[in-house]
Amino acid sequence: MSKTGSREERELVKMLWDANYAAMRAPASGGATKKPLPDIIAGNGKIYLAIEVKSSSKDRIYINSDKIDALLEFANVFGAQPYIGAKFTRKKWRFLTPEILYKTPQKNYRVDLDLAFQKGLELDEILGKDKQVKF
């Protein structure tokens, strides 16, 4: 993982703690183990989240299908809601469920900036604190 990705992961963990969620970066994510681990796990005793963090300075983020498969497997076993946390440079965080991602011809996934801001959720929405109306 690049230093940039680690920075975004730490930023998101802090935001989750500030919202009264226990949160941690999974230090073995990114291939250090054969187990399916997301980048961040968080919960408050009622809501549990498994988040794969992706960031980009461009308008698109590509995600290997193995990352999405591992996220879904972990979330299923753990009882968490799976999200891709997308952080585009100088934009707010957006959280997308795997089923709304665009599947590429190579069977991987893509998040476009437009999709993230049209269908993605804000942090308060995935935490159950707010509900945005999407048109």
Q: Give the active site residues.
A: 29
The type of residue at 85 is G
| DSSP collapsed to 3 states, 23-87 | EEECCCCCCCCCCCCCCEEEECCCCEEEEEEEEECCCEEEECHHHHHHHHHHHHHHCCEEEEEEE
* CB contact burial 77-103 (16+ within 10 A = b; e otherwise): ebebbbbbbbbbeeeebbbbebeebee
Distance CA 29, CA 25 (A): 8
CA distance 79 to 60: 29
